[in-house]
Every structure is written in structure tokens, then in C-alpha cells.
Structure 1
């Protein structure tokens, strides 16, 4: 009877020992280069995310700190009617209050007239923040209203009226003295300038002007502040006591244009950073698979020495955690430095100094490193614990391959978690995750099918060797080529598509776009004004009739604004501006449903797509508007999209000529005046004193500046995407390097010449490059169209050069990699290659 020795007990490793071994192994492999690709991918991912995180954190903190100044108060109530009753109630509750009044009016100064936005402010204004005025060369900040009989005018108003500090002018029935130039108001800011320049007076002067009557269209504001020692709950209680037609506006939801612009910029920057993270994740998956192959011998050796399987798993998990923490340090440091560039690009658009960043992005950067590495890399290393101990003696034995479902599921979970951490938006997470998974799966499927087809191609010579290498492991080759395609897609997006997007965005507002709007043009003035434009060579957009109307009936039923909510309710309550359908539709209007029938016998309306969606209008619906006291009813015959950036007169609703008679219309137009244009404005106002002129130059300059800075910031963040794409390319090429070295060693043993080996490598990698370049150009074109239409709301035309750039990039990558790989293959003796 044979004596069987009991199995040797498994070696037990305690946590301190595991930590020490994991750290030593990590340091050794970093020095050997085995983990360099993973390390670089993590550093880039953390840098991109923390750069955007630090910047948006500073903007959010600054906006919160300055929020009360955006309202000049802690709360504000807006109404078309007097708010005196509510001011008294707020005072009884212990709140500090003041009122302001705003409406457009005309200033008379000698022979000059000018439309201004008049703001009358009560005692104590502003309750929060400060006004900036100047009486000479120096500016000063004050917290008080103008004295009675005095006015503060914006610099543009002074220039157009030929006034200076100390001069007099008239508003309505009262004369005022210019006592200062108004540079800035806390509740307006300079982010988006006003079309009409500001004039500010004391609220007590309003009765003497005779401009405000019960029938006047003015806007009343009640400003509220919580005194020191009074609970903020008092302000909340006051807001709840307001009737349904009034609401308390808080600082956090004020300045919607300002907040929306920066929210969108921050969101896009975050998405750009997330593309870098996802590309880094693809690099991590490829690098982890290569690392798995390298670590099978050490894992088998540990198994042979009796180390428990679970301890091997703990060891590699700890190694990844240490790698994530190690990469997070330079990543966070680089992100902290990079955010200063973002602050320089976009911070100058803010009306406040950005505060120092908090430590929150640091924690977020560490989380990104851990989630990315454990989600993308750990699944490839899990099966190392099952490496057979006999691999020490038989190199053909290997660890069981990681289940494709495990890899796919873990990567999907990691992508979803990363996008959600960045965006905190469930729908956005779903879209991005679904898009990435579908794209990557499509790449793999297409490449696999092509490789299957190529296997049947009767190739000869070196082409046969190259195809054989690719077809021998079609799934592995498909994964590598798909990852390479992702990297090339990122490069094409950065180098070509992004440039086209930015150019299209910037060209939305050309340098000669109309920068003035003129309204209150009477029908009998149209011929004379047209001659004035022609004589002075002023390029105008044409004089367009405009009718003021109210929407009163929908499909035969009276419109009840109280039954609507939000934007729909506001639209139903206000007056509409209607115009007549021109004979030919302008280029900035496009029909998306119905037909254009300006002269048809069956009169109809053409409505803008956005307002149709808001008010749930459809083709065939019958709308009734009261125009000049008479009801006008017709059906909707077409729905249009409108490019509002054209700066031309455009309308939500257009009607057939038979619906809107010319006699009841006023006319409007827009036109371009080169800068400086003060004298031309004066000449126009002298010739047509009843004309009302809106200067859009400052608004256009602000918008152009925003577009320029935002596009620069996007390019800045996409540098991280470029780096991540390069790391993906490095990982994709390195993933199969060892296998190719062994295969070419076999060919050399069988008598293949150096030339034949190099030619086979050239054939293989040019084929890979062309295939990846073609797929990447298709993906980049699709992504560019998606970004243009969904994110930027811009028109998009496919650039025919993208496929050429994609194919050229693929060939260039082959040209760069093949000589390097050829030197590696031919420098090693075949015997050493086969042993290694």
C-alpha cells in the first residue's frame, strides 16, 4: 500500500504582509515599465476631471457668495402692478424693503432724443451689493439712490445725447440734472448688456414725470433683505403668503442668462473631461489584459508555494488601489494647475473674483482613479487567482480567461458610475453610457465580421502571414482594433471636427451681423427711411411690418391662461408680435411641417417650432388673435425653425397678407453700422425723431466673447482627450506586441528573411490602420453631428476631408509603429524570443 503524504497547508498571509508585498510589487513593476500605460491613463483621467472640477467648484462658490448682489437683495417680487401693500406687510414682518420701477421711455436733450431703460429706485437701494458711478475720471462704489431731481446715465446714453456731468435733460414733464455716470448696477451686471442704455432716477420723481398711470406698462419690483438677527424663515414665510400670480425670486435663481451660460459651459467641459476618462478606461482595459498575461507566471509561482487563491486576489487588488492613489497625486496636481488656464479663459467674463477652490475636487479625483482602475482593470486580473500551479513547468497552461460578460458588465458599470459622478444627471448618464457601449460593441462586431471575411481571402506571400496573425484570434484582434478606433476617433474629434464645430459656432454671429434694431417706424416713413439707408450705404435687413395682437381663441375655445403653467402661461398672458408672410422665405427660417402659402386664398398662420411645442399647437389648429381691436382667425398651415442668431427681424407667428392689413402695422428693421457709429446714430435720429433705436453692439460683443472663450476652454480641455487617445493607441499596439514577437521568431526559425518579416508587419498594420481610420472617421462624423445638433444647436455639414484624415492617420500610426516593432523583433535572437 502506497503512502500518500498529506497536502502541504496553504501559506497564510496577513494584511500587513499583503500590503508590504503589494507595495513592493507595484514599485518593481513601475520601474520595469509593466504598469506605465495604466499609470499614464490614470494620471490623464484624474487631471481632466479635477481641472474641470476645480474650476466649476470655484464658479459655484463665487456665484453663491455673490448671489445676493445679483438681486441687490435677499429676495425680489416682480409685478406689473403696485406692490405697496406687500411692502407694508414685509415691513411688519421685520424685513428691510425698498421698491424699484422700470420701463422704457425717451429722453429729450436739446435736439436729441434717445430711448432708454428708465429705472426709478427707492430709499435704501441697493439692499445688497453696491452701485458703481463716476463723476470724473475715478469710479466709486456707493450704496445709495440718486437725489431727487438728479439722474445717473450710462456712458452710452451720455455719448449719444452729447451730454456730460452737470448738463440737463428732460424725462416726460420733468427736467433732470446729470450728476454721475452709471457704470454698474448690482442687479444687472455686465454679462449681457441691455439693448437700451440705462437711466436711473429717484422713485420720488416718478409722479412729476407724468409717465406712469394706471394704464402704463411698467414693471414694479419689491426688494427684500433679512436684517442681522432676524431668521431667514421670515423671508420664506413671506414668500408663501404671496398670491398665485406673484412669486418670491431668490438669488440662486436670478440672472438666468448668466447662470445658464456658465452651466452649459461647465456641462460641456465636464463632458469633454469625461471623454478623456472613458478613453483612459479603454486604455486601462487593454493594458490590464496585457498585465494579466505578464502576471500569470508570478501567480502560478505563488500558487506553487501554497499561497491561497483569495490572497492572490487581495494582493492584486491592493496593488491596483496603490496604483490609483499613486496616480491620483500627480493627476490632482496637474488638474489644479490646469484649472488656472480655465479660470483665465472664462473667469474674466465674471463680475466677481473667483474664490479659492475647495477640497471637494480632490476627493472626486481620487474617486475617479479608484473607480476607473477597479472597474476597468480589476476584472482582467480576477482570474489570476485560478492560475494553475503547474504553469511553472508547462507554459502552455494559463489562467482561465476572464468571462466576457464580467468584463463587459464591469466596464459598463464603471462607465455609468463615472458619468453619473461627473454629471449627476440620470438621463445624461444613460445617453453617454449607452452611446459608448453601442459604439464600442459596433466597432468590435464590424471588425470581427471583416476579419472573418478576410480569413477566406486567398492571400499569398507576406499578406498571408499578416492576415493569419489577425484571424488567429479574431476576438482579441477585434478588441484591439476597436480600442485603436476609439483613440483615432478622439484625435479626429480634436483635430478636425472640433475645429469645424467651433468655426460654425463663431460664424453664427458674423462680424457684419446687424447691430441695431429700429422700431416704431410708421407706414408713411418706409419709403423715406429706405432712401436714407440707400443714400448712406447702410445694409439693412428690410423693413418688416409688425402687428401687436393677443391670442384669444384656440380651436374655437377661449384661451384661459390660468389653465396653463410655466412658459405657456406667460406666452398666453402677453401680447404677440405678428408679421406678414414674405413672398419668399428668408434663409434663417426653414419649414419643417406643412407648406409655405403667403398668397393662398385659404389664409393661414406659420408658427415657430419652439412656441408650437410649448403651446401644443399643431398643423390645422385654428388660432384667433385680436389685431387692432378686430378678431383674426385662421388655421396653422406651416411650422418653421428660426435662427434667432441671425439678428434679423423674426417672429413666432407669421400670417398671410390677407389676414394682416398694412394700414394697422408699424415697421421694424435691423441694420449694420460699423463702429464708431455715434454720428450716424445721431443723423438717423434727427431725420426720424419718432424712431426708436436699440443698440445691440454691446450684446453682440458679449456673446462673441463668450463663444470665443468657451470654444478656447473646450479646446483646452480636449488636450486631455488627445493625451488619452494617444495612451489608447499605445495600449492597443502594446497589447499584442509579445505575441507578435514570438510568432515572428517562429517564422525566422523556419527561414523567413528580415525583409519578409518587415513586409508582413507592414501589411498587417497598414490594414489595421486603414480599418481603424475608416471606422474612426465614420464615428467622428457622427459624433460631430450629434454635438452640433444636440449640444451646440448648430447646423452641421459633413466634412469630406474627415475620411481622408482618418485613413491618413491610420497609415501614419502604422508608419510610426512598424519600424519600432521591427527593430524589437529582429534585435532579439529567435531562441530568446521563444523562451521569453
Structure 2
């Protein structure tokens, strides 16, 4: 039994440390390279020049660099194109580097590359060059898509405002591109000193000024704190940690899948420990009685077995951590192409977490059963009928429940998730125990003859032991079904949230008189659109009659309060919007759940928005949950059409263009030159890649769960092996044939297997629905094949174990079995 307990602990520690090492490396890598996402250690954005702030920062010893961005139209061969112009000063970038290519690749520019993001130089570019400076005076670097749309190449002239520039290179990568919506058009980059010659920036221009900041790591926190204290109230320092929210969200979901797989492996290992410890209690009672007879005190015996558990935890930690370290290398290799960061070596924290997991599992699942050995009566040496009182079921269940809670919390670090998983597993255990008890009690009243009576007699004779065995097996099979079948359904649901033909382009700046013509254009070119939605620019000014002051908010809330909102109207909700509070009435504001939580908005609150110079006030009548993965136009705030009837609106839509799509884009922009396109192809490809890699990684970690499930089965049958050997010996002495013993085993385990399979299927379906809804935010339907899978798994359980168990109990001689 110690071998079984050691194997269970090794699997638990290996599963936890493998996932822990991997997520620790990803987190450290993202933090180490996060500065490249801003091209600096920090950034201050403003609509006005930051001259005074720059002087303050430099006076404190910070290194600075300036950039500014704004949309503008460039001209080439009398053809206009809207670009996102970025002017960079000396020193840019402070962190990271740019990638350019001075020569044109012979192949077409990949359609999946967004307007402002880089292209994989290994696949699509030649002569790519990494640089740590911006363009020279009089030159411009242009994004590949802009070059393709204007049919230009490096060396050609490009008119920007009042100045003609020479295209010096294709801009492949810039470190501070932010997310895919950071700019609305292909990037054009020039030197900051060239801005006055263009004549594009005036006091009335809508320009975003950026002051980049850098400092040595040892002084960074202190210098940033001093600068923050001297900043005006309307200025904040943006740090790089959260500058890639799209990737972070996708990876967080992948990490949850990995954590779920490791969590279930740990819980299965706990079930194996519980069964093995109960059997070890029975085996060790003779040794404990002998020690008591030689004068050992209760406390001494308790310490001996507690020390054994501690040694067992230490013995399991070393190989478990080594296996976990090797496994995380495989996880890193699987996810390498989906991660945008270099992974540093892992830290030591997962090692201590693995040791903690082993100790908690032993204390929660094994110690309650072994501690009662100190109460073994010394007279057992003479009379083996005497035994230590068995641990109370309530004690076992209570300690196990607390251990499960701690294990889940250590893995998830989320009290809500811990409550859901613990509640689900606890409820499942109670249901399993209750149903198994009722069935076994019913077997006592069942009148059967011959082999059937022998097959069911053992279950009926020990209802508590039989109930615990069935509950443990059902719990193990639930976990295997949850990760073997439900896991696949959850991953499929995640993958299906971004279908193959998901919109990969957003179009904005659509004027009302262009909507009909654009619809006709899309239909003529067989381009499937997601509908047209009016978009009204507005600024939030008051809540419940009180004026809003953005500087009173912090972080993301402040940035949202400072910016303009895009309001829209719609007669009916789209399929990717779901009302979670209130009702869709068309008479008040409908707000998205996330922003409602950010600003603590609730039903009935009145919000005032300044729309085209006039205040518009209405109450919140509904809160919506939005599926942002749908790639359809969605809005934080939807307004009644009557409220915005007089407001000037532009329209927005999204649609799918098959690859390659440069000709379609060119035709679209030539027909509608004022249109602005967001190319989402690259971000969609990266998210799909991450999902695919995460699916493989979860299957990789699932091997630990499978191993833990097998150990549960081994522990369950080892616990009953000695009793079965004695019973079989008695039956053989009384004349039972081997065929009759095997038939009895087949009947017993067929009943157990079918019951376990049915219970596990129901529990796995319920837990899968809760996890999809509460943890992964996925729409998921219960797989109607789960009962079939469960019953098949139960029958397979009998098919695999009965021949093995039958061979073991019939091979032993009756005399040897009776002497054990």
C-alpha cells in the first residue's frame, strides 16, 4: 500500500509542478519582455505636447523619447490611402527593436498580416534587418499592406501633407504596436523632425503625443514613483504588463485548461491515497499492537506513522518534481510557436508548491485513517479479532473535503473556482455514497440463487466499504470522463467561437449614404458581412446627476472614463449578446457587463453622455454579456434609437475576406476611398494557433490524470484483495469451482462497473456544464453520448480487471490464503 500511496503522490506532484513550471516560465517571460510592448519601461499619453513632463522626467534621471501618432491620408500616383502616421524622435525605441526590409519580396504580401503588425520574416520576407532607430530625415517606412494597396516599392515617392518623402523600407515589426485596434490603418513611420514640414500638426489637430520612459531596473520603481507624484492629475504612467490584453486573455484560458487537468489529477491521487490509507490501516494493526505490547505509548505510535507520511511526501517530491520539470519542457515545445515571448528558466516556487501538495494530500486523505493506529489494543497480539476503531466517516469526509479545497485553491488561486469545483466534487461524492448505499442495502433484499448470490454477497455484507469503493471509482471515472470527453467538447466549443469564416476585417467611417452601395458591393463580390451598425461618438459626463471626473478613477477605469464612447442602436440584440440583468426594452441604456463592473453601474442608474454638444440622459435598463470572440461589431453601450435620432452617425461593419485578399482590399478602397479597414487576420491566426497548441498541451497533461485514475483502481482493488483471497479460499474448500468464482466476479464487477459508469456520466456532464459556464465562459451542450461512454467505461473496467483479479485470487492456495 505504501507503493500505491507513493505512486499517487508522485503523479500529483508531477502534474502540479509541470503546469506550475510552465505557467511560471510564461509569466516570467511575459514580464521580462513586457517592456518591448511599449518600446519603453513606461509611457505617458496625452492629446497635447508633454514638454514639461519630459523636463521633469529627465531631471529625475529617466531616459526619454518622443513619438506622436494620428491618422492622415497619403498620396501616391494620385491615389489616396488613409494611414496611421507615426513620428518618432531620437532614442526610439527605448526597449525592443524594429524590423524592416529594404527589398520587396517576390511573393505577394501575406493577407493575414494586419496593417500595423509585423510579418514573419522567415516565411514572407527577404533581407529583413533589425534596427534600434527610426527612419532618417526625408524618408518613410511603410507597412507591407500599404505598399501593396498603393502598388509601391521602396524608392518610390510618397506625399505626406506638404512634403514628399522617399519610401526607404517596408516596416515589418515595431515593438509598441499595442493591440490590433491600436491604429485604424496601415502604418507609415517618419522622423519626428519632419513633422513641421508636413504642415499636418496644428493646435487644432487631433494628435496623440507619447512620452516614452526608461530607467535602470534597480532604480525604476523609485524613479517612477517620484515622477508619478509630480505629474498633473490628468496624467498617468502606463506600464507594459497589460499592453497585450488579447494574448493575455487567450493564454489565461489555456492556463485554466491546463490547471483543470492538473487539478483533477491531484484529486484522483487524493482518492487513491484515501483508499490506500484505509487498507494500510488494516495491514499495520498487527505491527501497532506489537508496539503497544512492548510498551510504546499512543503518542509514540502516532508520531511514527506521521513521520512515515512526512518521509513519503519527501520521497514523492523529488521524482515528482523531476518528472514535472521534464514534462514542462514538452509543454514549452508544444506552445513555442503560439507564444510571443522567450521563456526563461523556471523558478523554484513550483517545487515548494509540489511539496505542499504532497503534504496536504497526505494530511487530508491519509493521516485520518492512519492516526487511529495509535488506538490499536495490545491484546490484538493474542486475539486478532480485536482492532483499532475505524475512523469515523464524517472525519474522513471532513478532512478530505478540507484537503480538496486547499489543493484546488493552490492550483486555481481563485476562491470562486475553488467553491465551484469543491462544491461539485463534494456533491458528487455525497450522491455517489448515497446511491451506492441505497443500492447495496437493496441487494440484501434481492433473492437470487447460485452464482449470483455469491457475486452480490460481498457488496451486501459490507455496505460502508462497498459504498466507499463505488464512490471512489465513480469519482475517478468522473474525472476521466470530464477530461477525456468533456475536455474535448470544451476545447471544441472554444475553437468554434472563432469559426473558419469569422470576420477578419472591420470597416469604419462608413457614411450613411454609403451603406446601400457598400452592401451592394459586398453582395456583388460574395462577401458575407455581419450587418451595419450606426456608431455615434459621445463622452460620458454624468452619473445619477453627478458630474464625472475621470481623475477620480484608477487604471483601466480612468482610461475608459477619459476616452470617448462609441454608442450604437439596434432594434434587436445580436446572437453574441445575452441579457444577464434587466430586460431589453429599447427605452434605456443597455451596458456591457464588464464595463458595468468596472464603473459599478447597476440597473436604474442614469447615465448622461455628451453627444454632438448636447446632453443625452437615460436609465440603465439592461446589462449584457458580450461574446467578444465573435469578431462582430459590439459596443459597451447600446442606446434607444429615439435618443440618438438627431445625432450624426457613421456606420461600422465586419466581414470575411478569403486569403489572399489584397485585390479585394484594393477594389474596396478604390470604390470607397474614405473607408477605414482593420485587418484582424494576424490576431485571428495567432489566437487559433494558441487554441490548437493549448489543446495538445491539455492532452499532454491528461496523461497524468489517466495515470492517477489507474492508481485509484489499483488502490481500490488492493484494499479488498486480502478479504477476497480469504473468501475465495473458503469457497474452494467448500467445493466451489474456478468457473463459479469467475462468474461471481463477473457479476459483481459488471454491477459495480455499470453503476459507476452511469453515475460518472451524469456527474461529468453536470460539472462540464458548470465549468463551461462559470470558468471558461463558453456556450456548451451536454454530450448526449456521455451515458454511453460511461456505461462502456464501466464495462471496460470489469473487462480489464476481472481476469487479472480472478487470476490472483484463484492462483493462491487456500491454505496460504487462510493463514494471511
Common fold by TM > 0.5? yes
Q: Secondary structure at the match of 2:135?
A: coil
* Distance apart, 1:813 and its partner CA: 0.5
Partner of residue 811, structure 1: 795
Mapped to 2, the partners of 1:197 and 1:443 lie a distance apart of: 60
Partner of residue 632, structure 2: 648
Pick aligned residue for 2:373 from 365, 369, 384? 384
Partner of residue 16, structure 2: 49
* Distance apart, 1:533 and its partner CA: 1.5
Moved more, 687-696 or 395-404: 395-404
| 1:245 and 2:239 aligned | no
Moved more, 55-64 or 747-756: 747-756
* Distance apart, 1:509 and its partner CA: 0.8
Partner of residue 123, structure 2: none
Count of residue correspondences: 798
Note if contact 1:619-1:639 (Cα within 8 Å) is conserved in structure 2.
yes
Note if contact 2:284-2:373 (Cα within 8 Å) is conserved in structure 1.
yes
| 1:284 and 2:273 aligned | yes
Q: Secondary structure at the match of 1:349?
A: coil
Pick aligned residue for 2:100 from 119, 133, 151? 133
Note if contact 1:105-1:115 (Cα within 8 Å) is conserved in structure 2.
yes
Mapped to 2, the partners of 1:106 and 1:705 lie a distance apart of: 34
Mapped to 2, the partners of 1:557 and 1:753 lie a distance apart of: 89
Note if contact 1:622-1:635 (Cα within 8 Å) is conserved in structure 2.
yes
* Distance apart, 1:73 and its partner CA: 2.3
Q: TM-score, normalised by structure 2?
A: 0.90
Mapped to 1, the partners of 2:362 and 2:180 lie a distance apart of: 41
Q: Secondary structure at the match of 2:782?
A: coil
* Distance apart, 1:445 and its partner CA: 3.0
Partner of residue 187, structure 1: 176
Partner of residue 8, structure 1: none
Note if contact 1:520-1:692 (Cα within 8 Å) is conserved in structure 2.
yes
Query: CA 1:464–1:111 in 2, change beyond 3 Å: closer, same or farther?
Result: farther
Partner of residue 745, structure 1: 729
Please give the residue correspondences for 1:444-483 in structure 2 after superposition, counting only pairs within 5 Å.
444-483=433-472
Mapped to 2, the partners of 1:696 and 1:487 lie a distance apart of: 43
| 1:59 and 2:39 aligned | no
Mapped to 1, the partners of 2:179 and 2:585 lie a distance apart of: 43
Note if contact 2:401-2:426 (Cα within 8 Å) is conserved in structure 1.
yes
| 1:506 and 2:495 aligned | yes
Partner of residue 697, structure 2: 713
Mapped to 1, the partners of 2:4 and 2:816 lie a distance apart of: 25
Mapped to 2, the partners of 1:302 and 1:389 lie a distance apart of: 8
* Distance apart, 1:87 and its partner CA: 0.3
Note if contact 1:192-1:258 (Cα within 8 Å) is conserved in structure 2.
no
Mapped to 1, the partners of 2:705 and 2:34 lie a distance apart of: 34
Partner of residue 289, structure 2: 300
* Distance apart, 1:649 and its partner CA: 2.1
Mapped to 2, the partners of 1:234 and 1:644 lie a distance apart of: 38
Please give the residue correspondences for 1:307-318 in structure 2 after superposition, counting only pairs within 5 Å.
307-318=296-307
| 1:368 and 2:393 aligned | no
| 1:88 and 2:77 aligned | no
Please give the residue correspondences for 1:115-154 in structure 2 after superposition, counting only pairs within 5 Å.
115-136=82-103, 137-154=126-143
Partner of residue 579, structure 1: 568
Pick aligned residue for 1:771 from 729, 751, 755? 755
Please give the residue correspondences for 1:308-457 in structure 2 after superposition, counting only pairs within 5 Å.
308-425=297-414, 428-457=417-446
Task: Encode CA deviations 1:296-340: one digit per residue, 9 max, x unaligned.
Answer: 223333444445544444443343333333333332222121111
Query: CA 1:384–1:535 in 2, change beyond 3 Å: closer, same or farther?
Result: same
Specify every segment of 5 or more residues in structure 2 that has no aligned partner in the other structure, as ranges: 104-125
Please give the residue correspondences for 1:676-691 in structure 2 after superposition, counting only pairs within 5 Å.
676-691=660-675
Mapped to 2, the partners of 1:822 and 1:701 lie a distance apart of: 54
Mapped to 2, the partners of 1:520 and 1:193 lie a distance apart of: 16
Task: Encode CA deviations 1:405-448: one digit per residue, 9 max, x unaligned.
Answer: 44334434433443444445555555544544443334223322
* Distance apart, 1:802 and its partner CA: 0.7
Note if contact 1:121-1:200 (Cα within 8 Å) is conserved in structure 2.
yes
* Distance apart, 1:503 and its partner CA: 0.8
Note if contact 2:234-2:551 (Cα within 8 Å) is conserved in structure 1.
no
Mapped to 2, the partners of 1:794 and 1:595 lie a distance apart of: 22
| 1:97 and 2:64 aligned | yes
Q: Secondary structure at the match of 1:283?
A: helix
Moved more, 300-309 or 643-652: 300-309
Partner of residue 670, structure 1: 654
Mapped to 2, the partners of 1:270 and 1:639 lie a distance apart of: 31
Partner of residue 273, structure 1: 262
Note if contact 1:62-1:353 (Cα within 8 Å) is conserved in structure 2.
yes
Mapped to 2, the partners of 1:157 and 1:513 lie a distance apart of: 23
Q: Secondary structure at the match of 1:205?
A: helix
* Distance apart, 1:773 and its partner CA: 1.3
Q: Secondary structure at the match of 2:336?
A: helix
Mapped to 2, the partners of 1:563 and 1:367 lie a distance apart of: 42
Note if contact 1:486-1:776 (Cα within 8 Å) is conserved in structure 2.
yes
* Distance apart, 1:482 and its partner CA: 1.2
Moved more, 125-134 or 475-484: 125-134
Mapped to 2, the partners of 1:173 and 1:451 lie a distance apart of: 90
Note if contact 2:535-2:652 (Cα within 8 Å) is conserved in structure 1.
yes
Partner of residue 680, structure 2: 696
Query: CA 1:732–1:197 in 2, change beyond 3 Å: closer, same or farther?
Result: farther
Mapped to 1, the partners of 2:674 and 2:775 lie a distance apart of: 42
Q: Secondary structure at the match of 2:100?
A: strand
Mapped to 2, the partners of 1:370 and 1:544 lie a distance apart of: 57
Task: Encode CA deviations 1:438-467: one digit per residue, 9 max, x unaligned.
Answer: 433342233223333443444444444444
Query: CA 1:658–1:784 in 2, change beyond 3 Å: closer, same or farther?
Result: same
Query: CA 1:70–1:604 in 2, change beyond 3 Å: closer, same or farther?
Result: closer
Task: Encode CA deviations 1:110-132: one digit per residue, 9 max, x unaligned.
Answer: 24443333222111111223222
Task: Encode CA deviations 1:666-696: one digit per residue, 9 max, x unaligned.
Answer: 2222111110010111111111111111111
Note if contact 1:466-1:763 (Cα within 8 Å) is conserved in structure 2.
yes
| 1:832 and 2:820 aligned | no
Mapped to 2, the partners of 1:437 and 1:799 lie a distance apart of: 23
Query: CA 1:434–1:215 in 2, change beyond 3 Å: closer, same or farther?
Result: farther
Q: Secondary structure at the match of 1:265?
A: helix
Q: TM-score, normalised by structure 1?
A: 0.88
| 1:823 and 2:811 aligned | no
Note if contact 1:494-1:722 (Cα within 8 Å) is conserved in structure 2.
no
Mapped to 1, the partners of 2:41 and 2:558 lie a distance apart of: 26
Mapped to 1, the partners of 2:441 and 2:162 lie a distance apart of: 88
Partner of residue 492, structure 1: 481
Mapped to 1, the partners of 2:549 and 2:35 lie a distance apart of: 35
Note if contact 2:25-2:346 (Cα within 8 Å) is conserved in structure 1.
yes
Partner of residue 774, structure 2: 790
Mapped to 1, the partners of 2:760 and 2:217 lie a distance apart of: 61
Q: Secondary structure at the match of 2:708?
A: helix
Query: CA 1:641–1:309 in 2, change beyond 3 Å: closer, same or farther?
Result: closer
Specify every segment of 5 or more residues in structure 1 that has no aligned partner in the other structure, as ranges: 1-33
Mapped to 2, the partners of 1:228 and 1:486 lie a distance apart of: 49
Mapped to 2, the partners of 1:814 and 1:711 lie a distance apart of: 30
Query: CA 1:252–1:633 in 2, change beyond 3 Å: closer, same or farther?
Result: closer
Pick aligned residue for 2:577 from 558, 568, 589? 589
Mapped to 2, the partners of 1:297 and 1:238 lie a distance apart of: 72
Mapped to 1, the partners of 2:179 and 2:127 lie a distance apart of: 19
Mapped to 1, the partners of 2:298 and 2:261 lie a distance apart of: 40
Q: Secondary structure at the match of 1:540?
A: coil
Task: Encode CA deviations 1:456-504: one digit per residue, 9 max, x unaligned.
Answer: 4444444444443223222222211111111101111122101111111
| 1:36 and 2:3 aligned | yes
Please give the residue correspondences for 1:5-44 in structure 2 after superposition, counting only pairs within 5 Å.
34-44=1-11
* Distance apart, 1:642 and its partner CA: 2.7
Query: CA 1:557–1:334 in 2, change beyond 3 Å: closer, same or farther?
Result: closer
